Chain A
Amino acid sequence: MTTATLSPTIVQNFDLFAPKLVDREEYFSWGHRACQGCAEALAIRLMCKALGRDTIITNATGCMEVISSLYPTTAWKLPWIHVAFPNAAAVASGVEAGLAALHRKGKIPDKRVKSVAIGGDGGTMDIGFQSLSGAMERGHDILYVCLDNEAYMNTGIQRSSGTPFLGATTTSPAGKKISGNQVWKKNVMEIMVAHNIPYAATASPSYPIDFMNKVKKARAIKGPAYIHCLVPCPTGWRIPSEKSIQYGRLAYETGVFPIYEVEDGKYRFTLPVPEKRRPVEDYLKGQGRFRHVTPDQVKLIQERVDVEWEALLIKMERSKSYTEIREQLKK
């Protein structure tokens, strides 16, 4: 059901050849304590494969730190540090600065080790937002990956600024008077683009090759990079655990979560663009968190998604890279 609307050629090429090129080594090992169908744990596994061994992970407090680091066990085969909830970007910037200093002085082996921070939507978009903005603005050679499951899942599905409009959480419940989250999801991807960082992208583990390609690209870039990854959470979204990959695809196919990248200021879709987007209802239905949503409200969401999609298309068509603009100005 998922590939029907997609242009067939590229997908076939990826499906046939790319998986064979993926690193067989597991840097985020089995045996961790994530829920069944956790797309966030899957995203980390794929991310680590794309990053390779010369990587240091800084993990914001959240589900992933809890499920992966229960002393004396660890799921991490990469060097890993967890400090607190709001400061993954700051810690990662310190890791980068420390490595750089030791490298300059010849105190550590002469190779490039990438500092990578990961955090959930709360740790990135809310409580960690200041430190994220600071680290990106300062131009550290770090990659920040936001693993967005659209609520504070670790503490029991509370509303964050990543929670979608009308989504029911335990602090934005579908009540008799107020029905679910009353505001639209914060667009952190665009805020990161506004930081003028060399690379920002959205991604999903439902499109693993695309996600891993972006991680590889971001890793290679010297400077700050940001990847916003939508990770369905069966527990919090009230969906069957075997459906998380499917909902990740539906998020893209309906236009609810566009998957694209902004490199050097230039917007680009990275997956085959749906010729005709599926109705948002296909994405909303079956998710317990949207069970209370009325047909009128579905229309409201559809209208918003249409507008945002069109706005994004305009950027895709008209945006130019800074390099192109520079060339133009020279003429």
Chain B
Amino acid sequence: MGKLVGMEVALAAAEAAALCRFEVAAVYPITPQSHVAEHLSDIVNDGRVDASFITVEGEHSALSAVIGASATGARVITATSSQGLLYMGEVMPIASGMRLPIVMIVANRAVSSPINIWNDHSDIMPMRDTGWITIFAENGQDAVDMVIQAYKIAENRDVMLPVIVTMDGFQLTHVVEPINIPDQEEVDRFLPPYNPYATLHPDRPISMGTLGMPEIFPEAQKAKDVALVNSIRVIKEVWDEWERLFGRKYEAVETYRTDDADVALLTMGSMGETAEVAVDELRRQDVKAGLVKIKLWRPFPFEDLKKALKGIRVLAVTDRAVSFGGPGGPVFSEVRSALYDEDVRPKIANFIIGLGGRDVQVGDFVTMVKRAAEGKLAEPYEFYGVRG
């Protein structure tokens, strides 16, 4: 049952793609994704996977090339970060609109300006509405498992959508963790070869990416939304199967010590583990604290979130991106909106934290929870610990 290794997470994520026997990779280097790009090319050039690595001249072309390859029926991978993800922005909704099962690793990084290579979520958040399934890894094991799961989800005939697996840049991509890397035979059993619905081939010519007039365009958009909303069923089935085969459980919304909690923190990504330590610390101080971690960002797991927040009186939502001039961080506005129709709902505070790699320590989470619990809520949101 797999092999426990100490490996840098970026490399492990590339290894996961190799276990899925990708056929075409097109990746443009950008910090902190570059180790993914480098390791994918190592894998291809060493002949460990029978694949082509296209050294594209930019991220726009990276996604465009994997669209072309995916349209022929090949299993594909790309990866990016920050400005690179924004540069892909034009092509993002096209990939999902064409219903191509592309898998992309995103090493989350701040967006300029000022230019900053460190981690936050301001690159992934603007991609929220592009129609991609978006899953947040919390640690190296998540990253590996989620990349493999991503193909199974994306290629499901009831889904046929591209999937992003995000992992926090540096804080996750560049750390060495003990990770269980599954065996090839196990992955082969879990993930059958890609059997595409339609491909570009002269034996059965089709037109892909045609012009949609007002008579059909809204229907195409609705179909994409329905597919994305419905994909949560398949995602959960895939996670159930994963748990049966590999013994590791995945949930759209994970909780930590929330059963009797009065106040809870909410995180996405790698800060979840720091927040767990903070919750333990708060418990030692007799604060009934818990932690809610959102793993699945799109489709948004409304029901799972409501269930996870049952009994919570005060919720401190952390955001690692800013919706400038908006209602608060993107996670906050989503969570608050999800709870609007509930008869009983928690008071919600919003702390914007860890922008551009600013360190967030256990003590910071403790302070946030205490301030939220005392009703000293930032209105409507607060840049935690930020000068000015």
Contacts and interface: CB of A to CB of B under 8 A. Distances in A.
Contacts of B193: 107
Interface in A77-104: 77-84, 86-87, 89-102, 104
B290 to A, nearest CB: 45
A71 B56 contact: no
B207 A74 contact: yes
A74 B54 contact: no
A70 interface: yes
Interface in A122-155: 130-131, 133-135, 137-138
Nearest to A96: B68
Contacts of A76: 205, 207
Interface stretch (B1-9, B70-78, B248-256): B70-78
Contact of B24 (A53, A94, A109, A115): A94
Interface stretch (A54-62, A230-238, A293-301): A54-62
B94 interface: yes
Contacts of A24: none
Given A54-B202, A70-B210, A108-B73, A81 B61 contact: no
A134 B72 contact: no
A65 interface: yes
B202 A79 contact: yes
Nearest to B66: A94
Contacts of B206: 79-80
Contact of A101 (B74, B200, B211, B212): B74
B72 A102 contact: yes
A94 B64 contact: yes
A189 interface: no
A140 to B, nearest CB: 8
* Majority DSSP secondary structure for residues of B touching A: loop
Contacts of B67: 83, 91, 94
B200 A95 contact: yes
B342 interface: no
Contacts of B73: 98, 102, 107-108
B201 A79 contact: yes
A105 interface: yes
A10 interface: no
A96 B62 CA distance: 14
A120 to B, nearest CB: 16
Interface in B34-63: 50-52, 54-58, 60-62
Contacts of B60: 86-87, 90, 131
B61 A84 contact: no
A55 B201 CA distance: 8
B91 A87 contact: yes
B276 interface: no
Given A76-B207, A95-B69, A95-B71, A81 B64 contact: no
A87 B61 contact: yes
Contacts of B386: none
B210 A82 contact: yes
A112 B61 CA distance: 24
Given A79-B200, A83-B91, A98 B208 contact: no
Interface in B164-208: 193, 200-208
A134 B54 CA distance: 10
Given A81-B71, A104-B50, A97 B65 contact: yes
Contact of A69 (B23, B203, B211): B211
Contacts of A97: 24, 26, 52, 54, 65, 68-69, 74
A113 interface: yes
B237 interface: no
Interface in B81-105: 90-91, 94, 98
B201 A74 contact: no
B64 A91 contact: yes
Given A101-B52, A102-B72, A131 B57 contact: yes
A66 interface: yes
B114 interface: no
Interface in B118-147: none
B65 A90 contact: yes
B115 interface: no
A70 B201 CA distance: 21
Contacts of A133: 57
Given A87-B64, A101-B74, A138 B54 contact: yes
Given A83-B91, A130-B58, A105 B50 contact: yes
Contacts of B211: 65-66, 69-71
Contacts of A81: 68, 71, 200, 207-209
Contacts of A58: 68
Contacts of A90: 56, 60-62, 64-65, 68
A69 B94 contact: no
A183 B190 CA distance: 60
Given A56-B200, A79-B201, A94-B64, A69 B54 contact: no
Nearest to B198: A79
Contact of B91 (A74, A84, A100): A84
Contacts of A98: 23-24, 68-74, 76
Contacts of A93: 54, 56, 61, 65, 68
Contacts of A87: 60-61, 64, 91
B23 A101 contact: yes
Nearest to B58: A130
Interface of B: 23-24, 26, 50-52, 54-58, 60-62, 64-74, 76, 90-91, 94, 98, 193, 200-213, 216
18 contacts: A54-B202, A70-B211, A74-B207, A76-B205, A78-B205, A79-B201, A80-B208, A83-B67, A83-B68, A83-B94, A84-B94, A90-B68, A93-B65, A94-B76, A98-B24, A98-B72, A100-B52, A131-B58
Given A91-B68, A98-B76, A101-B74, 11 more contacts: A56-B202, A58-B68, A79-B205, A83-B64, A84-B94, A87-B64, A94-B68, A98-B23, A100-B52, A102-B72, A115-B68
